[in-house]
């Protein structure tokens, strides 16, 4: 317990360089006088010839500023945009203030308490709202580039990890009911958070039984899973007790004062499994723009979102390209396998790229030549979807 608590008590984190920018910055006004959402935009040399528009969605605790190289790759042929999810990057008030101070000439800024922006995250709805705003604005920008011969460029989402869960749950909840969602013609899911983590090594002996109990209880909470009646009753009774108890405990541990003690720093094993590149791992460890802590309330909310998505994922009808590592402990493969098993037949363009021997989580930040190979495969799938979309338009009655 002391090993878990003490790093959180003494944690200090600094940034010494301004936020890494790429593309054109487009502020999107927010309600209630909140700071504008910054949409980053990058176009090809001749935007009129872009065949599609692509929205990049980053994962948990990172930020879109580090996707500059990825954006430049896709911007050779597509109009590319990205934004920081709620409480991340420049959407985090503390990190935004730190960037302003560094830009004005400060030597460094402490950002160890940036995780406190997570206090509103009982679920992922604030993040879905940011995604919706960014998507609507990208569609408007795409329309501006359209001419008579190429009206209504298709829009695609390239999403990673928690960002993939946010994007997929948004599309699932708004499909055929929201103009922005209906414009999306495909989504790339990179290591999506369709499962809960499995801690590797000796730490897993302590953590994994608790994680599995919490997930099992949440998944069965007042929701039958076609079990035999005796097991159904046992599951319902266990969940009825366990879920409210754990929700209350995680909420209490997120209160001021207690959260300083019970919100530990991200353990080293997480960084070890982010990339297969030692140079990339070193950059991540030195990168102060990452959020290094997570409120227990936020973590519990993510778990509930995973369960909620899995309950309805069989109806997911947007064409997708799913890429995942077979030995990834951060978002284990079983979540992706469950998703593909119940959705692959939903569209002929659905495609899978399992990487069974790999264990790292951030595929777009893999070592070379794997990174370039994956980017090329994604580009090829996007091209295939553009062709399919054009064919659908010409044959539609």
What are the angstrom distances between the C-alpha of 330 and each of 238, 333, 339, 360?
Answer: 26, 9, 17, 9
Tell me the DSSP string of 304-349. Answer: HHHHHHHHHGGG--S-EEEEEETT-SSS-HHHHHHHHHHHGGG-TT
Q: Identify whether the C-beta of residue 19 lies closer than 8 Å to the C-beta of residue 120.
A: no
Model confidence band, residue 182 (pLDDT cutoffs 50, 70, 90): confident
pLDDT tens digit string along 133-168?
999 999 999 988 766 555 578 999 999 999 999 999
Please report, for the domain that includes residue 190, its CATH number: 3.40.50.1820
Tokens at 179, concatenated: 């103009």
Q: Identify whether the C-beta of residue 189 lies closer than 8 Å to the C-beta of residue 159.
A: yes
Domain limits at 53? 2-395
pLDDT tens digit string along 378-391?
999 999 999 998 88
Mean pLDDT of the chain: 91
Number of domains in the chain: 1
Q: How many C-beta atoms lie closer than 10 Å to residue 136's C-beta?
A: 14
pLDDT tens digit string along 230-274?
888 888 888 888 889 989 989 998 998 888 888 888 889 999 999
């Amino acid at each position: 317990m002391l090993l878990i608590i003490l790093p959180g008590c003494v944690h200090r984190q600094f940034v010494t360089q301004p936020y890494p920018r790429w593309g054109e910055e487009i502020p999107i006004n927010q309600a209630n006088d909140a700071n504008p959402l910054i949409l980053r935009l990058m176009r090809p040399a001749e935007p009129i010839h872009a065949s599609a528009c692509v929205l990049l969605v980053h994962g948990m605790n990172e930020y879109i500023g580090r996707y500059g190289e990825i954006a430049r790759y896709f911007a050779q042929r597509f109009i590319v945009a990205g934004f920081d999810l709620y409480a991340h990057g420049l959407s985090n008030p503390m990190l935004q203030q730190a960037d302003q101070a560094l830009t004005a000439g400060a030597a460094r800024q402490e950002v160890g308490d940036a995780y406190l922006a997570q206090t509103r995250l009982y679920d992922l709805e604030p993040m879905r709202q940011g995604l919706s705003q960014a998507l609507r604005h990208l569609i408007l920008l795409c329309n501006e580039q359209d001419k008579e011969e190429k009206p209504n460029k298709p829009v695609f989402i390239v999403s990673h990890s928690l960002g993939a869960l946010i994007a997929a749950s948004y599309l699932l909840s708004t499909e055929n009911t929201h103009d922005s969602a209906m414009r999306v013609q495909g989504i790339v899911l990179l290591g999506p958070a369709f499962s809960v983590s499995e801690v590797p090594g000796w730490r897993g002996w302590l953590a994994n039984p608790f994680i599995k109990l919490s997930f099992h209880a949440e998944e069965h909470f007042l929701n039958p899973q076609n079990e035999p009646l005796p097991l159904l009753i046992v599951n319902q009774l266990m969940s009825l007790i366990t879920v409210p108890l754990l929700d209350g405990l995680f909420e209490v541990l997120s209160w001021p004062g207690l959260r300083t003690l019970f919100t530990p720093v991200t353990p080293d094993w997480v960084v070890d499994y982010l990339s297969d590149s030692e140079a990339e791992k070193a950059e991540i460890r030195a990168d102060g723009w990452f959020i290094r802590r997570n409120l227990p309330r936020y973590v519990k909310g993510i778990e509930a979102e995973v369960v909620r998505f899995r309950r309805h994922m069989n109806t997911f009808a947007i064409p997708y390209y799913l890429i995942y590592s077979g030995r990834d402990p951060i978002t284990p493969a079983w979540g992706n396998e469950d998703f593909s098993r119940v959705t692959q037949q939903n569209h002929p363009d659905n495609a899978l790229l399992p990487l069974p021997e790999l264990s790292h989580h951030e595929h777009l930040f893999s070592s070379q030549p794997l990174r370039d190979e994956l980017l090329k495969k994604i580009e090829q799938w996007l091209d295939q979807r553009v062709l399919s979309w054009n064919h659908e338009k010409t044959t539609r009655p």
